[in-house]
Amino acid sequence: MGKLAMIAFGGNALLRAGGPTSFEAQCSNVESTCEQLIPLIKRGYDIVIGHGNGPQVGNALLRHEAGKQVFGLDAMPMDFCGAETQGSIAYMIETGMERVLKREGLERKIVSLVTRVEVAADDPAFQNPTKPVGPYYKELPGKADDANALRTGNARTGDPLRITDGPFARRGEPCAGVIGQDGAVYREDPAGRGWRKVVASPKPLRINNIELVERLARQGYIVITVGGGGIPVVQSEYGFQGVEAVIDKDLASALAAIEMKADEFYILTDVPKVYINFHKENQAALDCISVEEARKYLAEGQFAEGSMAPKVRAAIHFVENGGKQCIITEAGQLDNPACGTRITA
């Protein structure tokens, strides 16, 4: 039986900074990324792929909003948009991987699963939404002079809503969110680009059908799952119910790797290694670090939030829960068995 690797695609697997965003461009980017997995496949690895969907969900929200305004169509909720983009992105990955395998003369079946991921209904993140989604608005979605349309405070308790972290926190100090007419929380962008909806980013607890994912992978199938971190759901008396939230895709992929007892967890990004003092004169690449060292660098603020910091946290989570090693690197380095930054116990 070959080694099992969980591979989390980075955002540049679909969209390149400053590049085109068409369907054709995304398919081309995906196929290029899939091509970089061939060295692992030729070394006998069984593979499970996770991926992000942030820009695609934002575009889906825009399409639904436009459909509502122009044609009077009902706009779908965020968990629906998550499922929608999971399916469309998995389709592109499955197609790209199939083309690459055919060119290489390799026989592997590929299967995509739309995946729900359970989160806790009482996760503190729901009281402190920080994850920006969707478009920027010049004005809040609601009338400022309508007391029922906009109010400052917590939608559930009436307590002041004070957000202390995330990309909208100013200088690390608490900052109130505003609830729009649609019931969503909005934050004003510090860079002056307008207002943007923010949602919770709760911790993933359990991945639906992960046993099936592992079984298929160990039978030689390439499995695409936990797209965008998975569709967030909570337990209810009727079963699982979708919620407006975004699960960190690297943390969800780490959980998948843990539950499948994967041998290795790869987090693909746009740099070959993790760096300290990034973009400074004394910048230094990290080859292999322990969990203790990774925590130390996090505490020092060496890794940017919304960029490398969540990837390092996901790596720590994997290793601390039985994983052997996590490798953070760019896809083009996978032909080197010693590639990337390796985080171990």
Catalytic center residues: 11-12, 131, 249, 311
Q: How far apart are CA 344 and CA 329, in angstroms?
A: 15
Structure tokens at 213: 């994912």
Cβ proximity of 114 and 86 under 8 Å:
yes
Q: Looking at the chain, list the stretches that DSSP marks H as alpha helix, in order from N- to C-terminal side.
A: 23-35, 38-42, 54-71, 78-104, 210-218, 249-259, 291-299, 309-320
Q: What are phi and psi of 286, to 5 degrees?
A: -105, 125
Structure tokens at 311: 């990837």
Cβ proximity of 330 and 271 under 8 Å:
yes
Structure tokens at 129: 């939404």
C-alpha distances out from residue 103 to 2, 7, 181, Å: 23, 21, 53
Cβ proximity of 201 and 124 under 8 Å:
no
Q: How far apart are CA 141 and CA 241, in angstroms?
A: 26
Cβ proximity of 143 and 151 under 8 Å:
no
Q: Are strands 325-330 and 341-344 parallel, antiparallel or unpaired?
A: antiparallel
Residues 6+ apart with CB under 8 A from 58: 133, 134, 135
What is the amino acid identity at position 275?
Y
DSSP symbol at 229: G
Cβ proximity of 212 and 256 under 8 Å:
no
Q: How far apart are CA 192 and CA 117, in angstroms?
A: 34
C-alpha distances out from residue 178 to 160, 172, 183, Å: 10, 18, 9
